[in-house]
Structure 1
């Protein structure tokens, strides 16, 4: 009998997870989609599809209650949808049913809000919860993370719940042509303004991970959780990082400038400092926090489990995977709509 899997957020990361699970042939996958087109596309790929949105919390609770495994990769800032999943898991627990829940948060919660001017030697490890437990409850995504941790403690052994904090996600799945947020946003900014840019000195750094390496890590942890005995001490730590290296924002800008210049889309490869008035073309007041601060992490748990990144590094993937898609874009420039909460 196939395990029932519910994927909330079948987009950039979620779609890659669905593809991997479908290829294994032992999961019945259901996902929530917002459009008729997505409903058809996912159905064609073998998933059961339900039309709805993150605000359809009763529906999300029902789908979670029917599922042995739940992934939430839609957003790290929608508390109601995460709470709906937890209610569904609690309903299963009241019936003696076990659930695995993998929730995607984000490495913005690790950021130091230093706005491009403060290289930081602190690298967060997920080998223990010690560093993560020092994070402010007002840090980005932290309100939801803490709500999940609290419910995790209440549910005990009937639910194996883990929070993922991926850093810059890059690259794309060649089948679906979906791309990420941060580096593409900086690339579109450069195309509009005629120059690549960085915040402050650009010395701050973020860790990064290819979307397909992240999806592979999710499935590897899922398989561990399906068989791990209750005595496994790893079950006590609710956090996972996933990274394959790091890059400074100045190096990101240099990478973008060099490639756009080579493509004949800007007049110079040299990046400039992004002024406060230009934040409107990026993430508004959140620009320094999203593309300017430090967020450095080490995927120690995954590496101990034998996980290894296999995809091209961030610069090669930008040249071969992301940039070609961005250069094909047309229409009115629209800055990304994203907030941190």
Structure 2
């Protein structure tokens, strides 16, 4: 079973003093936020969900699906954590790029957008990956085994967690054009051979 945490409200929390970060022996001090030239600076935040697609920059991989694929190639079995019912919102990398371009020109200052074009459970993602790789059915790992292989953070906070959001990108005229993560895994994510998988 996954560990459960229980939070209880407290009347007051102890003050936490953070040590200053240092670089080259000198303390790093936060710089005040100042307007840009002409007294204007426009901040927009885009919060991506699980990213899939073929990367076009120096770093081709994201986090979740490549981790599942590497483990599957090493063992011959795609694994998910526990029942795999945990769900993440997802978005294709090229659709993200389109929204970033729109945000640069059309988003108002102080805007915050979640970025997604659907969602899928890790059990379904694993099943699609197993089909694409030509492997047998995906199988469950208990939490302890997953932690032993992937480490605590990746196993529990990424591959066994839920992260579900709804995008407001449509307010900028954004319409995701790429297939769902499950369709992409089965149709587009693999090269000629599963030995040369390239997954973001």
Trace 1:304-319 onto structure 2 (pairs within 5 A): 304-319=171-186
Question: How far apart, in 2, do the equivalents of 1:293 and 1:175 lie?
Answer: 28
Match of 1:241 among 99, 105, 114: 114
Trace 1:245-256 onto structure 2 (pairs within 5 A): 245-256=118-129
Question: How far apart, in 2, do the equivalents of 1:205 and 1:169 lie?
Answer: 14
Q: Secondary structure at the match of 1:160?
A: coil
Task: Could you tell me which runs of 5 or more consecutive residues in structure 2 were left unpaired when the two chains were aligned.
Answer: 1-21
Does the Cα contact within 8 Å between 1:188 and 1:326 map onto a contact in 2?
no
Q: Which residue of 2 aligns with 1:117?
A: none
Q: Which residue of 2 aligns with 1:139?
A: none
Which deviations, in whole Å up to 9, do the C-alpha atoms of 1:117-162 show, x marking residues without a partner? xxxxxxxxxxxxxxxxxxxxxxxxxxxxxxxxxxxxxxxx732112
Of Structure 1 and Structure 2, which has the larger fraction of its residues in helix? 1
Q: Which residue of 2 aligns with 1:163?
A: 45
Q: Which residue of 2 aligns with 1:295?
A: 163
Q: Which residue of 2 aligns with 1:222?
A: 104
Question: How far apart, in 1, do the equivalents of 2:186 and 2:42 lie?
Answer: 39
Q: Displacement of 1:217 after TM fit? A: 0.2
Q: Which residue of 2 aligns with 1:273?
A: 141
Q: Displacement of 1:307 after TM fit? A: 0.5
Which deviations, in whole Å up to 9, do the C-alpha atoms of 1:296-325 show, x marking residues without a partner? 11112x112210001222123223443328
Does the Cα contact within 8 Å between 2:124 and 2:182 map onto a contact in 1?
no
Q: TM-score, normalised by structure 1?
A: 0.44
Q: Secondary structure at the match of 2:127?
A: helix
Q: Secondary structure at the match of 2:48?
A: coil
Q: Displacement of 1:271 after TM fit? A: 2.1
Q: Displacement of 1:294 after TM fit? A: 1.0
Question: How far apart, in 2, do the equivalents of 1:176 and 1:320 lie?
Answer: 24
Trace 1:1-341 onto structure 2 (pairs within 5 A): 87=31, 90=34, 93=35, 97=37, 158-173=40-55, 178-225=60-107, 234-236=108-110, 238-260=111-133, 262=134, 266=135, 268-282=136-150, 284-286=151-153, 287-300=155-168, 302-324=169-191, 327-328=195-196
Q: Displacement of 1:241 after TM fit? A: 0.7
Flag the 1:183–1:326 CA change in 2: closer, same or farther, 3 A: farther
Flag the 1:174–1:158 CA change in 2: closer, same or farther, 3 A: closer
Q: Secondary structure at the match of 2:44?
A: strand
Question: How far apart, in 2, do the equivalents of 1:174 and 1:320 lie?
Answer: 19
Q: TM-score, normalised by structure 2?
A: 0.72
Across the two proteins, how many residue pairs are aligned to each other? 171
Q: Displacement of 1:89 after TM fit? A: 6.2
Q: Secondary structure at the match of 1:165?
A: strand
Q: Which has the higher contact order (CA 8 A, sep 6+)?
A: 2
Aligned-CA RMSD value: 3.1
